[in-house]
Amino acid sequence: MSKIYTNCFAGNHTVFARKYCCRDDSPKDYTHFEYCCDIDTFAAQFSEQTKMRAYCEEALRFGDHYIRADQLCRHITVILNPMANRRKSKQNYEKYCAPLLHLAGIRVSVVVTEAEGQARDLMEIMDNTDAVLIAGGNGTVHEVVTGLLRRPDSRAAVHRMPIGILPVGRRNTIALQLNRLTDKNVKTYEVLAQSTMSAIREVLKSVDVMRIEGTEGRPVYALDELNCGTIRETFAVIEKYWYLGNYLKPYLAFISNSFKSLPGVEGVNISYSKPCTGCSKCYQRFERQTAGAE
């Protein structure tokens, strides 16, 4: 028979515990375990699990709804950028977003991008889906919006395929503004869970879009910000210095590009299109495009 003796010394934030396991036949033969457990860590994990359970229960209520025999399940396509947030985006999506979508009874198709611009090209031919969720950062969002609005049937496609954002990137300013999450102390799992539940609840919101036209090429669209020039080119080559690690590669990229070429002067003309006065022309045009697509 074994006996376990535990001595605990509780402080304000930390618990130190020692366990001694001794056998009756040999009191000197024991194993000594020491570990330090942070109470704040346990409290944070408990809070995360409790809130995620509440989100899962709400998503399950959507999945328990009955549908007709001739009715198809809701289908959502997820465009996942695995390089976002220092390659942690896929892990965060599978941990916090995917379970909620499956519990809600949604048929999910995940498309993992492999190169820059692939999300834009994919959205130009996207079809047979009820909505599109973007699992990435601001760059992936701009690619998807650009591909959607470059389509010949863009007006009908915008209504047919709403876009949702799962903020698994490093800078998620667009998603935070859309979900009105201005608190800097908000946890990652809360942002991801709330964004996923917005897609499950089908909460829609109209947003303004910027159209950027250059002297050559097709127009580019953006929601929140526009980056161009030397800084944009430097961000595109940061991953070339992967062997330096996540912390040193941005510095070398900026230093290297600074010596290669001096920043040029960018000339930009900005114009603002006023909103519609409220006539029914846009709605009638949308009805004609929808009827033609059918």
Across the chain, which has 294 residues, the per-10-residue mean pLDDT values are: 33 34 42 50 85 94 87 92 86 93 94 91 92 89 92 89 88 74 75 91 85 82 74 73 77 76 64 66 58 54
Does some domain include residue 56?
no
Please give the C-alpha separations between residue 189 and each of 95, 103, 112, 167, 169, in angstroms, as whole numbers.
9, 17, 21, 10, 13
**Domain-located, residue 144:** yes
Q: Is residue 132 part of a domain?
A: yes
Please say which residue of 222, 251, 278 terminates a domain: 222
Name the region of 86 (left: φ>0; alpha: ψ -120 to 50; beta: rest).
Answer: left
Cα–Cα nearest to 92, from 237, 191, 221: 191
Q: Do 143 and 12 share a structural domain?
A: no
Q: Domain check: are 103 and 132 in the same one?
A: yes
Q: Closest Cα partner for 134 from 59, 80, 89?
A: 80
CB atoms within 10 A of CB 249: 17
* DSSP H helical ranges for 21-113: 39-63, 84-87, 89-92, 98-103
Give yes or no: residues 24 and 118 share one domain: no
**Burial annotation 82-116 (CB, 10 A radius, 16+ → b, else e):** bbbbeeebbebbeebbbbbbebbbbeeebeebeee
pLDDT of residue 17: 34
pTM beyond cutoff 0.85: no
- Shared domain for 77 and 181, answered yes or no, is yes
Domains: count for the chain: 3
Segment (H or E) for 195: helix 188-201
Q: Which domain holds residue 31?
A: 2-38
Q: What is the pLDDT of residue 284?
A: 60
- Rounded Cα distance between 79 and 221, Å, is 18
Cα dihedral value 11, 15, 21, 24, nearest 10: 30
Instruction: Please tell me whether residues 218 and 235 are part of one structural domain.
Output: no
Is residue 205 domain-shared with residue 238, that is, in the same domain? no
Do 243 and 169 reside in the same domain of the chain? no
Give Cα 171 to chain centroid, integer Å.
10
Residue 288 is predicted with a pLDDT of 61
Classify residue 248: in a domain, yes or no: yes
246 and 152 share a domain? no
Query: Is position 93 within any domain?
Result: yes
DSSP category for residue 74? P
